A = this chain, B = another copy of it.
């Protein structure tokens, strides 16, 4: 399961995407609209900013905004950033690979193979679906 952090990030990003035309959006506004603790959300948005997903402006009239159009922000990127590996096992993770300690040889491990396929099927969706694809259907 995705952590609350990642879930909150998605909801915040959706809100930002749905209000792209309104300039910078306040943390407090997002927190209220999406029922998220404001201080927790602050940390999350900061992290997204430091990774280049969001931009921000301080002072009056400030807030957060998307650095790229929603259709260019893949869901996989957000998950990896805040939650880490998408794969179910370390030994099949593309971005956070770790050797398996309980099997002798990954090359002949059937578990490795199946979990690799699960990863691929998830990535096929998560790498191609973007923020634009998860906006509220109107």
Contact = CB atoms under 8 A, between A and B. Distances in A.
A21 interface: no
Tallying the copies of this chain within the complex gives 2
Contact of A89 (B1, B102, B129): B1
Contacts of A103: 11, 34
A3 to B, nearest CB: 10
A102 B136 contact: no
A34 B109 CA distance: 13
Interface in A8-35: 8, 10-11, 14, 34-35
Nearest to A124: B121
A114 B125 contact: yes
B102 A7 contact: yes
A48 interface: no
**Binding site of A, secondary structure by majority: helix, strand, loop or mixed?**
helix
In this complex, the member of A87, A88, A90, A129 whose beta carbon has the largest number of chain B beta carbons within 10 angstroms is: A88
Given A2-B88, A34-B102, A35-B101, A10 B122 contact: no
A36 to B, nearest CB: 7
Contact of A134 (B36, B114, B124): B114
A89 B2 contact: yes
Given A75-B114, A109-B134, A117-B125, 7 more contacts: A1-B84, A1-B89, A2-B89, A35-B101, A35-B102, A121-B125, A122-B122
